[in-house]
Amino acid sequence: MAKSAVSTLIQWQPAAFFETRDATISCTLCPHACTLADGETGLCKVRRGRGNCMETATMAAAVCHSDPVERKPLYHFRPGSKVLTLAAPGCNLTCGYCQNRRLSQFGRAAGARWEAEPVDVNALVDRAADESAALGFSYSEPGLSAELLLAVAGAIRGRDIPLIWKSNGFLTPRAAHTLAPLLSAANIDLKSAVDEDMRRLSGGGLEPVLETIRIFLEHDVWVEISTPLIPGFNTETSQIRALAGIVASFGNLPWHLLRFVPEFRFAKYSPTPPALLQKARSLGREAGLDYVYVERALGAEGRGTRCPGCDTILQKREIWSATPTLHDPADCPVCGERIPGRWLKETS
Ligand code: SF4
């Protein structure tokens, strides 16, 4: 980003991911599949029809700063490493509890204004290289910055700069197949095990999210899953079991249980009690998940990676930081169990 004052003017740029048929423009980026007239914006408010083409507002960033990878959260991907993180305004879902609503609900929520700067892609990649950081897209929906991701990937030119996402996973299979080969890791939200509840919560269906997870895994993206546990919404034992079962159906993926804080349109719900997070962690383990994490409510114990073979703690974490102790190949020094993940090589 340029260092000048943050711009409140949208600079529309040519978009990919659309089809034009009989003078009708259809967006192919997410399952909402908006059909747009000239000048009309989609549900996300950051893509619009323009003549026979489509334009995007998201070659820009409202946020560009260094974060620890643990903040995404990604716990089995280069622990302790830095991520230069970008976010443009906009989201294709409308979750009633969104903590980043001033950014994500641009054009829809009070106070969610456009404030972003065009991204200088080459300068951004040079900065990530200088800082030995990955490049991340987070805080709003990174899928809406698909064209920026393509441009950034092109500018990396063989340098070791992983691209990572924190995403709602609400993409078309076509977009997921196109973008996944560019990504090294993603944390994807699984908000509900029931399609109807997912729609009520977020305005989007469940199956596209599951399909995105399948596609990302097929393309060898390292995937971790996050679930906000909202008392009275998705915290019945049967609901948590169903969520854990879905995560386990993809393999032994790290599962992050997020403490819900009353916000926005979900102010009437209560915060998640620590005992509920503890119970959900046990249910996750019963479902066969060895790596179920709780960031804060259970203290350091909730953040540590234990060997499922002998219960030795192999990787401790602070909130949003870690001194890496798991390195590639991540074999438990006590019992030899291999810990899945993408770990850095140990430097001598
Ligand atoms: S990304 Fe989704 S919400 Fe936005 S214009 Fe395309 S189809 Fe519509």
Peptide bond preceding 73 in cis form (omega within 30 of 0): yes
Which of 90-94, 99-103, 189-193, 342-346 bottoms out in mean pLDDT, i.e. has the lowest?
99-103
CA of 104 to the centre of ligand 1 (A): 14
Residue 107 has pLDDT above 90, yes or no: no
Peptide bond into 329 cis (omega under 30): yes
Is the predicted pLDDT of residue 26 greater than 80, yes or no? yes
Give a three-class secondary structure readout of 50-93.
ECCEEEECCCEECEEEEEEHHHCCCCCECCCCEEEEEECCCCCC
Confidence of residue 24 (pLDDT cuts 50, 70, 90): confident
Average pLDDT, the chain: 94
**pTM of the predicted structure, to 2 decimals:** 0.95
Integer Cα distance of 121 and 160 in angstroms: 16
Q: Ligand 1: which atom is nearest the Cα of residue 143?
A: 1
Among the listed residues 283, 179, 181, 186, the one whose alpha carbon sits nearest the alpha carbon of residue 229: 283
- Model confidence at 108, in pLDDT bands (50, 70, 90)? confident
Instruction: Give me ligand 1 centre to Cα 18, in Å.
Output: 10
Residues with CB under 6 A from ligand 1: 27, 29-30, 32-34, 42-44, 47, 92, 144
pLDDT of residue 299: 94
263-289: buried (b, 16+ CB within 10 Å) or exposed (e) per residue? eeebeebeebeeebbbbbbebbeebeb
Domains in the chain, please, with CATH? 13-56 (no CATH), 60-315 (3.20.20.70)
Using 50, 70 and 90 to split pLDDT, how confident is the model at 187?
A: very high
- Residue % of the chain over a pLDDT of 90: 87
pLDDT for 124 beyond 90: yes
Could you tell me the pLDDT band of residue 112, with boundaries at 50, 70 and 90? confident
Beta bridge partners of 117: 61
